[in-house]
A and B are shown apart, each in its own frame.
Chain A
């Protein structure tokens, strides 16, 4: 009858406020009577319970079931490894000009061929993953780091803080972001750092507006008042009760922002406002192929394939994240 009681961790001190054995045996009777035996209270069973208790473990379980998202993740990891390990993967340098070797079609030494200056295309594609990832990840993280705290505070505090933040959001939303980025890069001189900076200045508004609206509706919920009544400090309510509800949207927004960054980087590089030669970027390589593609199609095929697959991979990740983090969808 009381097997469960004996094995329960630290019963004695846990309810020192007046639990007597009779009261507890009421609970354990229900347990022993039901199908599950007293193993419920063994440490192993308990650990199983806590593991499952974590939201992110459940999310990962749901994510894994999504094939497209998993392919995307694997592909993205491969791209990241390639970007990090580029010097180890190729015998050539990305800026090694060899005019005698220009415009080679793919062969054993140059699997992706060479460009108009005789540089190895494969090497340049490896190195081209770097600015793409830098722009995507750094701007994404910086936008979150800037937009999330501002938005969540504006939504939770309301009043004058919210008024000020809202005007700021309105102001930045009214500006066409591509023009602003162009203008800023021009003023600040074109470089990878300035491109990222320009994209942050216009990009933080997105997560900020999202979180402000979400916090606004969440803070009126009964369970937020319940957490206040439980004596939780404000930062804890915001971090553990409000933010997790925004996490699905934010993560999705982050992952979905990477393809945008790829396009923005490619477009600006094409216009000469982004990555400066000789550093390669996929968009820039595509732009360079403009004069040659009819006779040497490998010059645009490979960068195009890279851009398309990278965009698809990150889109797949974003989609998988959105589904996996949504508790209301498939438990």
Chain B
């Protein structure tokens, strides 16, 4: 079975005044049809950049994809001509963006915006496209969709706008949906609704979903498999249950350890990972995580670890997988 999406050694660089930012450094993963893949990592870990690079939406200059392959249905997207790229975007791969407040054109009615995508990608005429728009909007749970076609984005609430964005993304029946932190700008109850909506749509339409977030709670609710990213590489890749039960990488431990629990008393400090994310211009040699890692040894500072299998379908990039497993008992103590 060939993978729907196969990313191989993807590298993205940004040329800035201060130097070259190594945003993505050899990212590899693959996805089957109908998978839900979560990508987790802190700000600047390259999760959004790598996904935008797949669609070749990195602003150039300053950004450049310097290496690797993005095989989508066995076709390397990085080799396509710009004209061919248009046929991939929207109709094959669609994106939901983080902020529904700014991702919709404020001076265009939502009916026109959704219909436009279908006119371009599916070749429908305007009337037919508007008809389909009504159905798609109903499908994502916009009440009285027919009456709301002529409304402008500011007449919708945040959650409703994100539904509109989702309607726009699924309107052309993409095989892969990239959700770039779609719930970050929403409050928690709306977040849950959006997550459930995407999950429902994914099951109905059978598309694959890449869900980018830094919210482990959302991931736990949705994803089948998770890639944890740090400094532009995957440090751990596992199905959802093993990741939460037996995390293998010290960074994952740290992330899980920083989740505040309800039983934490008010005067207790929150757990966090010491130090700051690495300077992406001057990445430390060796393992990118060693300056913040409790398990580091001399070896970590010199050689970069590769992803190694720790169990079936579960891999992590660390020199001290044995020690991590040995020391890991309750997750709160792991970061110390």
- A residues near B, CB below 8 A? 8-11, 14-15, 17-20, 23-24, 26-28, 30-31, 34, 36, 40-41, 45-46, 49-55, 58, 221-223, 225-233, 236, 240-241, 244-245, 327, 331
Contact = CB atoms under 8 A, between A and B. Distances in A.
Contact of B131 (A10, A40, A54, A233): A10
B94 A230 contact: yes
Interface residues on B, range: 35 or more
A40 B146 contact: yes
B204 interface: yes
A30 B143 contact: yes
Nearest to B152: A327
B144 A31 contact: yes
Given A17-B204, A229-B57, A53 B90 contact: no
B136 interface: yes
B88 A53 contact: no
B142 to A, nearest CB: 8
B144 A245 contact: no
A32 to B, nearest CB: 11
Nearest to B105: A223
B120 A233 contact: yes
Contact of A40 (B91, B121, B144, B206): B144
Given A53-B111, A222-B99, 20 more contacts: A8-B135, A17-B206, A28-B138, A34-B144, A45-B147, A49-B150, A50-B127, A50-B149, A53-B109, A55-B108, A223-B104, A225-B57, A226-B168, A229-B89, A230-B90, A230-B172, A231-B87, A231-B117, A233-B86, A241-B108
B116 A223 contact: no
Given A30-B143, A233-B120, A55 B107 contact: yes
Interface string B126-154: 01001110111011010111110110100
Given A50-B130, A230-B117, A231-B121, A24 B107 contact: no
B95 A226 contact: yes
Q: Report, nearest first, the 9 A-B pairs whose CB atoms are least far apart.
A: A231-B90, A231-B89, A53-B150, A52-B150, A18-B204, A27-B138, A230-B90, A222-B102, A229-B95
6 contacts: A8-B135, A34-B143, A49-B111, A226-B97, A230-B172, A327-B107
Contacts of A36: 144, 147
Contacts of B116: 232, 236, 240
B6 interface: no
Contacts of B99: 222
B90 A225 contact: no
Contacts of B138: 24, 27-28
Given A230-B117, A233-B86, A14 B131 contact: yes
A88 to B, nearest CB: 41
Contacts of B168: 226, 230
B62 interface: no
A20 B205 CA distance: 11
B106 interface: yes
A233 B121 CA distance: 10
A236 B121 CA distance: 12
B146 A46 contact: yes
A94 to B, nearest CB: 46
Contact of B204 (A19, A45, A54, A221): A19
Contact of B147 (A24, A40, A227): A40
B326 to A, nearest CB: 45
A27 B143 contact: yes
Interface in B75-99: 85-91, 94-95, 97, 99
Contacts of B135: 8, 11, 14-15, 19
A233 B145 CA distance: 27
B204 A50 contact: no
B147 to A, nearest CB: 6
B169 to A, nearest CB: 8
Contacts of B141: 26-27
Nearest to A46: B146
Contacts of B55: 229
B105 A228 contact: no
B173 interface: yes
B57 A18 contact: no
B301 to A, nearest CB: 39
A225 B109 contact: no
A51 B130 CA distance: 11
A209 to B, nearest CB: 21
A46 B31 CA distance: 41
A20 B136 CA distance: 13
B139 A27 contact: yes
Query: Which interface residue of A28, A228, A236 has the most chain B CB atoms within 10 A?
Result: A228
Nearest to B92: A231
A221 B108 CA distance: 14
A231 B144 contact: no
Contacts of B117: 230-232
A297 B154 CA distance: 57
B103 interface: yes
Given A14-B131, A327-B106, A232 B150 contact: no
Nearest to B115: A53
B152 to A, nearest CB: 6
